Amino acid sequence: MFYSRLSKILLLAVLSLGLQLSAKAQESSLDSTNFIKKIIKKFVSSEKDSSRSASFMVLPAVGYAQETGFEYGIASTYNFYIDKNDLNSRTSNLTLIGTLTTKKQKNIKLISDIWTKGNEYHILSELRYRDWPFNFYGIGNDTWKADEDYLDQKLYRIKLDGEKRFAPNFYAGLNVNYEYLKFKDMEAGGIFEEPTVYGKTGGQYLALGASALYDTRNNTTYTTEGFYGRAKYSYAPNFFGKDNFIGSQVEIDLRGFYPISKSLTVAAQGLYRGTYGDKIPFYVLRDLGGDMSMRGYYLGRYKDNNYATAQAELRYRFHPRVGINGFLGTGSTFSKENDMRLLPSYGAGIRYFFSLEHNSSIRFDYAFGEQRPGEKRQSGFYLSISEAF
């Protein structure tokens, strides 16, 4: 009798435990399914998040080059509102990029673009450490691939710009920029040894200046309407002596955005950067190329005292999560010694919007540049977080 009752109790216990485990398994399965659905919805759904929450994206960085070996790291961005309750609050963002190589090279950059409460202040900053090689081709816009000279570089950079709003859409403020650079020529007898190249071993400078901004953009991350105009000036006094940079730097950035329809926009930019002084070190000269302007050219393939460019994009966002771009531009470096030689830049790309609330995008671009006699056409593929302008 006792064993019979015990067996019944055990049977009930086993059945009860089985039912509990089954319920928990179903609950766990439902939780897992719900979690997956939430992730899919977050990155695929066309529905905009009404909570005005922050967004975060991380991309892996993997590559290989003969001079660096295997490269690995991350590129990440965090977009947010300082005041979520203010519907006019502009998107602020923090971007961290960090890569290492098997040859012990490092490239770490933290940049920010912050709009305070009520958009009263606009703050830009950059912290950077770079222990990375690069190719030097000479000075001017008539350099050749055959003259490529391999340099080792170390860079420390601290930049801070602070601007206050003084009138609707108008800001003005101050800026400071410190850089320390060190170079080593890895290939003796190359173009880097020419006497016109100043600052071969590196140097440092501290530049102080002012800026003014007029900004009517409807969105700071993916603009479809409005105007942006920013002028910046800085001066580097003789703080460090020797052959360090002493002189001025100027930047003028003008952008216009014109909607053709709800999903189609024409965007245009004109950009000028200039460096002024006597015996300007090569490391503060202006570079043509990169992933922001004159795409298709290696950054620094052409460098000189001045750099001017104009580019335009046709942006078609046919789905809340996906868009395509076509772009073209022209530009040149120049100085008293080297006349302007306008170069072509053109290409196309795809956009994936990982945050609908902030209109934050991942950019895939392929661009073409010029083809010099006896050389392959210059080109480049770009995977970046955020738009070019």
Q: How many domains does the chain have?
A: 2
Q: Do 157 and 181 reside in the same domain of the chain?
A: yes
pTM score, whole prediction: 0.86
- Is residue 232 within 8 Å of 211, Cβ to Cβ? yes
Task: For residue 245, give Cα distances in angstroms to 179, 199, 286.
Answer: 10, 9, 14
Q: Do 116 and 23 reside in the same domain of the chain?
A: no
At residue 381, what is the residue type? F
Q: Do 251 and 128 reside in the same domain of the chain?
A: yes
- Is residue 247 within 8 Å of 233, Cβ to Cβ? no
Q: Do 36 and 157 reside in the same domain of the chain?
A: no
Q: Do 142 and 161 reside in the same domain of the chain?
A: yes
Closest CA to 280 of 249, 320, 242, 247: 247
Its domain, for residue 1, covers 1-44
Domain at 208, CATH number: 2.40.160.50
Q: Do 345 and 233 reside in the same domain of the chain?
A: yes
- Per-residue pLDDT of the chain (389 residues), as tens digits, is 333 333 333 333 333 434 343 444 455 556 666 656 665 665 677 776 667 899 999 988 887 776 788 889 999 999 999 999 999 999 999 999 999 999 889 999 999 999 999 999 999 999 999 999 999 999 999 999 999 999 999 999 999 999 999 999 999 999 999 999 999 999 888 999 999 999 999 999 999 999 999 999 999 999 999 999 999 999 999 999 888 999 999 999 999 999 999 999 999 999 999 999 999 999 999 999 999 999 999 999 999 999 999 999 999 999 999 999 999 999 999 999 999 999 999 999 999 999 999 999 999 999 999 999 999 999 999 999 999 99
